[in-house]
Structure 1
Amino acid sequence: MRKILMIIAPRNFRDEELLEPKEIFKNAGFEVVVTSVTSETCIGMFGARAKPDRVIDELNAGEFDAVVVVGGAGTPVLKQYAKVLQILREAKERNKVLAAICLGPIVLAKAGVLEGKKATVFSSGASEIKSGGARYVQESVVIDGNLITADGPQSAKRFGKAIVSTLA
């Protein structure tokens, strides 16, 4: 079965940016693995609870067809974790689908995987992804090859569908 990795912050991930794409992925027949930098239950901005299936330190990008960074106010903390950045770089090197929504693209920027790519982000992150070499596009969902980015929770369903289409 094809697998999608979803990376969430331990606190304040955006609930619907995890739950809506995850449901789309499962309905399309993908196995979904949720991970974080902790094994503890993670809490969303609106109270969603998600127990990581595996801790990120146990993983490598080669196991997955796509790696997705879920957004939310807590997402910037992921930039501090070398293993998160390593998995994102590894996914790019292996030509996997890389995706991020809301503030997730700033984590991709920190990993150095946006250079020369068109991308979008929650408006407050625009300067940060530009600093990371992205060509910022103010659209709800942007697809540039195997890179898919979205601007926020209102785009979560379109984001999930775009990832499934890219993997088809």
Structure 2
Amino acid sequence: MKILLFLAKGFETMEFSVFVDIFGWARNDYGYPIDVETVGFSKTVNSTFNILVIVDKIIDEIDINDYDALAIPGGFEEFGFYDEAYNEEFLSLIRKFDEQNKIIATICVGALPLGKSGILKNRNATTYHLKDGYRQKELQKFGVNVINQPIVIDDNVITSYCPQTAPEVAFTLLAKLTSKEKMNIVKKAMGYSL
């Protein structure tokens, strides 16, 4: 199995790293055969706090048939997150994952490109909830039924409302790709209470 981890310019490092760590533990310590492959619009992607990450592939090289899930960390507007997160090539990739009912997991404002792509129309989702819920209002404009909860699952889509939810989103994705029992083994090994 393989997860495509999309890094838009200005992505938030904490929201990116949970997928690498949790699935790294699952693969390394427990032999769960799930790889994480990073992708961006360029080979080097600058995060919100100026951490440069060299991705495995650029978006033009992606064949969605090679992947079982798509993971999208959020990012900061002032660092250019929406320049790439709202790019039509990425929105098309999101639509293709959804058309094949593949799992899409987002953290915080990583849900907004899903909304813009149209896949969340008339579906339940959430996004960043603080500062008067301005990002949730933005998501609602895409025809989304916004639920103000930490994590919202609607069929194949997992959304969450802030960086604090990042580990739980990755654990939820792990459970969907393996089982709740296998996820709990990794969760316990990493020191998270069950």
Q: TM-score, normalised by structure 1?
A: 0.91
**Which protein has the bigger helix share?**
2
Q: Is the contact made by 1:119 and 1:134 (CA closer than 8 Å) also made in structure 2? A: yes
Write out aligned runs for 1:16-165 (5 A): 16-29=14-27, 30-39=34-43, 41-73=44-76, 74-123=80-129, 124-165=134-175
Match of 2:4 in 1: 5
User: Which AA in structure 2 matches 1:69?
Assistant: I
For the aligned residue pairs, the C-alpha RMSD in angstroms reads: 1.5
SS of match in other structure, 1:88:
helix
Q: Is the contact made by 1:35 and 1:53 (CA closer than 8 Å) also made in structure 2? A: yes
Q: Is the contact made by 1:102 and 1:122 (CA closer than 8 Å) also made in structure 2? A: yes
Deviations 1:37-70 (A, max 9, x none): 112x222223433111000111132211101111
Q: Is the contact made by 2:8 and 2:85 (CA closer than 8 Å) also made in structure 1? A: no
The structure having more radius of gyration, on CA atoms, is 2
Q: Is the contact made by 1:78 and 1:107 (CA closer than 8 Å) also made in structure 2? A: no
What are the ranges of 5 or more consecutive residues in structure 1 without an aligned counterpart? none
Q: Is the contact made by 1:22 and 1:160 (CA closer than 8 Å) also made in structure 2? A: no
Give the paired residue count. Answer: 165
Sequence identity, in percent?
29
Q: TM-score, normalised by structure 2?
A: 0.79
Gap change, CA 1:81 and 1:126, over 3 Å in 2:
same
Moved over 6 A (4+): none
Q: Is the contact made by 2:86 and 2:113 (CA closer than 8 Å) also made in structure 1? A: no
